[in-house]
């Protein structure tokens, strides 16, 4: 797939390092690895704001759609329209829907149909793929 934002592996590594990304962020975002459950920095963060792609800054989720799915990864019930591309993933003997950033193709996680109403979806994300941006205080 072609995505609007493209870089070499070296450029992605340099970008992630400059942002102070988690050590496994490159393997997770560029090679579809998965962080261990309950190990990600955003798994238990409940602050206001939004979550963006660590690689390109694309806004993916509003924090008010985050919920505790008890699965060990940050989970969201609704993505920003057009922010995520879904790809059939047949790895590990399963059929799942992989989620990638629609701007740069970064692997984010998977989406499952066992989430809360009204969407019934659970976007199960790797913390290392995300960057939380808190809501700015308004005067």
What pLDDT tens digit does each residue of the chain (139 aa) get? 899 999 999 999 999 999 999 999 999 999 999 999 999 999 999 999 999 999 999 999 999 999 999 999 999 999 999 999 999 988 888 889 999 999 999 999 999 999 998 999 999 999 999 999 999 864 5
Nearest to 41 by CA among 134, 138, 132: 132
The one-character DSSP state at 125 is E
Residues belonging to the active site: 124
Domains of the chain, by residue range, sit at 9-133
H or E stretch covering 26: helix 25-31
**pTM over the 0.95 mark:** no
117-to-49, 75, 78, 121 alpha-carbon distances in Å: 21, 14, 10, 8
Q: What does the alpha-carbon distance between residue 106 and residue 127 come to, in Å, rounded to a whole number?
A: 12
Token representation of residue 134: 């808190």
CATH number of 9-133: 2.170.150.20
Backbone angles phi, psi at 56, to 5 degrees: -125, -5
């Amino acid at each position: 797939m072609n995505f609007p934002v493209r870089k070499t592996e070296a450029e992605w590594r340099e970008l992630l390092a400059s942002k102070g990304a988690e050590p496994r962020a490159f393997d997770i975002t560029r090679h579809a690895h998965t962080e261990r459950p309950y190990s990600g920095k955003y798994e238990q963060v409940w602050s206001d704001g939004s979550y963006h792609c660590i690689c390109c800054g694309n806004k993916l989720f509003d924090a008010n759609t985050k919920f505790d799915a008890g699965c060990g990864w940050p989970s969201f019930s609704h993505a920003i329209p057009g922010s995520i591309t879904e790809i059939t993933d047949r790895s590990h003997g399963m059929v799942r829907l992989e989620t990638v950033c629609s701007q740069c193709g970064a692997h984010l996680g998977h989406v499952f149909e066992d989430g809360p109403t009204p969407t019934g979806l659970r976007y199960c994300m790797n913390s290392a793929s995300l960057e939380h941006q808190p809501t700015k205080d308004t005067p």
